[in-house]
Amino acid sequence: MAEPMREINFDGLVGPSHNYAGLSLGNIASASNAGAVSAPRMAALQGVGKMRRMLALGLPQGLLLPHARPDTAWLRELGFAGEDDAVLREAWSREPALLRNAFSASAMWTANAATVSPAPDTADGRCHFSVANLSTMLHRSIEHAQTLRQLRLAFADERFFAVHPALPAGLGDEGAANFMRLSTGHAGRGLEVFVYGERPAGGGAAFPARQHRAASAAVARRHGLSAAELVRQSEIAIAAGAFHNDVVAVANENVLFTHEQAFADREAVYDAVRERVPGAVIVEAPAARIGLDLAIRTYLFNSQLVTLAEGEMALILPQEAREAPAVWDWLEEVRAAEGNPIRRLEVVDVRESMRNGGGPACLRLRVAVSEEAHAGIDPRFLLDERACDRIEAVIEREWPESIAPDDLGEPGLWHRCRSARAALLTALGFAAGEL
Ligand code: SUG
């Protein structure tokens, strides 16, 4: 009998520097909200609200921390020198675009932090992480060093975990956002599906394909996977704004919940899943019913598909999906249909993150573990209601209420972002310099 396993979602807490700088080419929400005024405090409270909802559903919940922003260490690598304020002042006056990159709170989208292969799938029986290099987008390429530090701290117990650093930047890797695991249960050996993008033959793509095939293959090799499938994302999905596959498909245990146009060769993907995952259920949204544009606007597929204690599944959907009648009607049909375990639709408000292209599923990294491995995780990264109370109190006190584009040049905001993060780390029991 395989050991029972539970999936823990590690949500990225929205950092105090959350703003709308329009940094992600191919991410339509980010581009269309460029220049808007953000609400970091509300954004972070929305995120904690989602974490609380997961706890209320009886699911274990983890947390990853905001990175240090604005990232003066990175700006120093780019030749700015002196005290922190001098570095930031110079960057703002000479290269404001670089300062905007150094300011991004994009580490909140932890689905992009790493690819995670749970123990039953790997050759050495440990849970393997590969930190994503996120090298296609400048602002995200800054994240991997801090992500590695956090994951090595949270999952330091080498009896259960192996944390690999990012791949070389030439191989674009976007982590678990381009990855799905299908299995007959979390404890069974999974089929790990890696979804890569490719430039269309003849070129001419408006948007980059951020996940490279060779990166996916390298991660599968490193993790020692016995069952991996590399599949190509459809060009039309990327062109419509699905910059990550998790914007058009999500899997949980034996269920694949997907848009009809998510994959380049949909039949081949479905055949592989049916062949290799006994009892697989594929729930597909027909394009005639839900167009790609609507799916991407509402982030219907960027929901979290989770298994509840009684074995039924719930979709944790963004408010935007609830507000589109065509989407909601179809979801009600899915819920009522025979033969699939999706029985609950839970709606969460993560609007501030959504406006930068990050839905409920972008905000979390899934880690399936045995009870023993669960006990091996640094408890400061695991949440209960009391920890949520503490975090909320810090957010209320320390997070800026709003950030307008020109605020990025204000020393007051630089100091505030730094002290807010420091207050959070202290409240959670991290020593200065530990992260
Ligand atoms: O990488 N947005 C993120 C959203 C990531 C969503 N993640 C998943 N689909 N898993 C991105 O495009 C916007 C930042 C800005 O424009 O300031 C941004 O980085």
Residue 115 has pLDDT above 80, yes or no: yes
Q: What pLDDT is attached to residue 201?
A: 78
Which of 264, 117, 124, 290 lies closest to 197 in space, CA to CA? 264
Burial state string for 75-99 with b = 16 or more CB within 10 A and e = fewer than 16:
beeeebeeebeebbbbbbeebeebb
Tell me the best of 100, 116, 243 to mutate to test the pocket of ligand 1, counting ligand atoms within 8 Å of each CB and taking the most.
243
Q: What pLDDT is attached to residue 200?
A: 81
Residue 264 has pLDDT above 60, yes or no: yes
Q: How many domains does the chain have?
A: 1
147 domain-assigned: yes
85 domain-assigned: no
**How long is the chain?**
435
Its domain, for residue 187, covers 5-69+104-427
84 domain-assigned: no
pLDDT in tens, 301-315: 999 999 998 899 999
Nearest residue by C-alpha to atom 6 in ligand 1: 358
Catalytic: 388?
no
3-state secondary structure of 404: coil
Give me ligand 1 centre to Cα 357, in Å: 5
pLDDT in tens, 409-418: 999 999 999 9
Q: How far is CA 377 from CA 145, 156, 359, in A?
A: 20, 7, 26
Q: pLDDT band for 317, please (50, 70, 90 cuts).
A: very high
Which of 278, 314, 67, 57 lies closest to 182 in space, CA to CA? 278
Catalytic: 362?
yes
Q: What pLDDT is attached to residue 365?
A: 98
Give me ligand 1 centre to Cα 107, in Å: 9
Handedness of CA 62, 68, 73, 76 (dihedral sign): positive
Q: Quick one: tokens of 360?
A: 């409920």
Task: Work out the mean pLDDT of the chain and round it to a whole number.
Answer: 96
% of the chain with per-residue pLDDT over 70: 100
342 domain-assigned: yes
pLDDT in tens, 61-70: 999 999 999 9
pLDDT in tens, 322-376: 999 999 999 999 999 998 999 999 999 999 999 999 999 999 999 999 999 999 9
Residue 216 has pLDDT above 80, yes or no: yes
Q: Which of 18, 186, 223, 244 is catalytic?
A: 244
% of the chain with per-residue pLDDT over 90: 93
Nearest residue by C-alpha to atom 1 in ligand 1: 24
| End-to-end alpha carbon distance in the chain | 39
CATH, residue 192: 3.75.10.20
DSSP 8-state secondary structure symbol assigned to residue 83 = S
Give me ligand 1 centre to Cα 228, in Å: 26
- What mean pLDDT do residues 177-189 have? 90
Burial state string for 331-341 with b = 16 or more CB within 10 A and e = fewer than 16:
beebeeeeeeb
Please answer whether residues 66 and 429 qualify as being in contact, where contact means their C-beta atoms are separated by less than 8 angstroms.
no
Give me ligand 1 centre to Cα 356, in Å: 6
Q: What pLDDT is attached to residue 186?
A: 75
Distance (Å, whole) CA 249 – CA 271: 16
124 domain-assigned: yes
94 domain-assigned: no
Q: Which of 7, 174, 352, 398 is catalytic?
A: 174
Nearest residue by C-alpha to atom 12 in ligand 1: 24
Which of 171, 173, 193, 189 lies closest to 181 in space, CA to CA? 193
**DSSP percent split of the chain into helix, strand, coil, nearest 5:** 40, 20, 40
97 domain-assigned: no
Q: pLDDT band for 148, please (50, 70, 90 cuts).
A: very high
Q: What pLDDT is attached to residue 239?
A: 93
HSE toward the beta carbon, residue 375, CA cutoff 13 A:
2
Q: pLDDT band for 203, please (50, 70, 90 cuts).
A: confident
DSSP string for 349-391 = --HHHHTTT--TTTTEEEEEEEHHHHHTS-GGGB--HHHHHHH
State the SS3 of 257-310. Answer: EEECCCECCHHHHHHHHHHHCCCCEEEEECCCCCCHHHHHHHCCCCCEEEECCC
Tell me the best of 25, 28, 30, 139 to mutate to test the pocket of ligand 1, counting ligand atoms within 8 Å of each CB and taking the most.
30
Ligand 1, atom nearest to 244 Cα: 9
Residue 1 has pLDDT above 70, yes or no: no
11 domain-assigned: yes
Residue 381 has pLDDT above 80, yes or no: yes
Catalytic: 244?
yes
Residue 199 has pLDDT above 70, yes or no: yes
